[in-house]
Amino acid sequence: MSRRQRITTALILAPLPILALLFLPTPWLAALVAAVMLAGLWEWTAFAGIEDKTPRILFLTANALMMAALVWGGGPSLFTLKLVGLVGVAWWGLVCLWLARPGFGTGDSQRARGLKLLAGSLCVVPAWCALGWLHSEGDFGPRWTLFAVLLVWAADSGAYFAGSRWGRRKLAPAISPGKTWEGVWGGLAASALLAVPALPLLGLGWSSLPALVLLTVLTAAISVVGDLFESLMKRHSGVKDSGALFPGHGGLMDRLDSLLAALPVFVVGKAWLGL
């Protein structure tokens, strides 16, 4: 993909999610994001080697029903959404172990397919719950949600440009040969810088800056894990991109992978740090 094509696509698409995050009520936003994430799960079924439409539709339906049940059972306190958000943090910890053994889950056995389908649900559903939890938190909820998304975009863009310019040391050559440690540091730096102008917009005082920078860097770091995990799934299935929906950016899951890991860690970290 060319750098110009990548930038042009991003500039065209970016205003839509920004406006949705800022101005849609939480129930409407949750419904819209659920539809987008379920479409991403449709792409994920290809990673698991599922080609027939019927099992793919059944898998999406099961995840949609799970989302609906979580909202129905959460009540005003959003208990179930918060609980599943915590499950998401634990899941991404396990993914780190999976990345350390990239051969785990390979093959076309029924066990491997089932494992990858379960992984898809554990990537998507907790992230969706985390977004609903974050967005519904008072008057500043939409701004916090937008900040979470923007910091992942900043980390992704910083990693892309730093890696293209200075990348030398491979991050995970067995999983994604193009990613470098220099790109990671560039992404972390870009996301950390974003915390400074965001501070007053999030209703925080300057004394909260260290905690916000820590949250930002941790979230950006785990977003790299999300990107690597999707790369591993694509490598297992032998595909280059999850789809061709966005010129220069691949499919939906190629755009969602970092966010799926970032959202649970961000909202749980925010609560833990008292921000």
Between 101 and 246, residue with greater pLDDT: 101
Give the confidence band of 247 by pLDDT, cuts at 50, 70, 90.
very low
Contact yes or no for 225/89 (Cβ under 8 A)? no
In total, how many domains does the chain have?
A: 1
- The chain-wide mean pLDDT, for the chain, equals 89
Helix (H) or strand (E) holding 207: none
166: tokens are 């200075």
Which residues constitute the domain of residue 252?
Answer: 3-273
Could you report the per-residue pLDDT of 53-66, keeping only the tens digit for each? 999 999 999 999 99
Range among 6-15, 98-107, 218-227 with highest mean pLDDT value: 218-227
- Using 50, 70 and 90 to split pLDDT, how confident is the model at 17? confident
The owner of tokens 């937008």 is: 146
What was the pLDDT predicted at 242?
Answer: 56
Average pLDDT estimate for 147-168: 92
Structure-block tokens of residue 135: 């967005």
Within 8 A by CB and 6+ apart from 215, the residues are 266, 269, 270, 273, 275
Q: What is the arithmetic mean of pLDDT over 67-94?
A: 89
Question: pTM of the entire structure?
Answer: 0.91
Provide, rounded to the nearest whole percent, the portion of the chain with pLDDT above 90: 70
Task: Report residue 248's pLDDT band, with 50, 70 and 90 as the boundaries.
Answer: very low
Q: Helix (H, G, I), strand (E, B), or coil: what is residue 177? A: strand
- CA pair distance 87, 67, nearest whole angstrom: 14
pLDDT of residue 26: 93
126-145 pLDDT per residue, tens:
999 999 999 999 899 999 99
Q: What is the reported pLDDT for 238? A: 78
Asked whether the predicted pLDDT for residue 261 surpasses 90, the reply is: yes
CA-closest candidate to residue 220, choices 188, 242, 247, 195? 188
Q: Which residue has the tokens 């939480």?
A: 26
Between 11 and 32, residue with greater pLDDT: 32
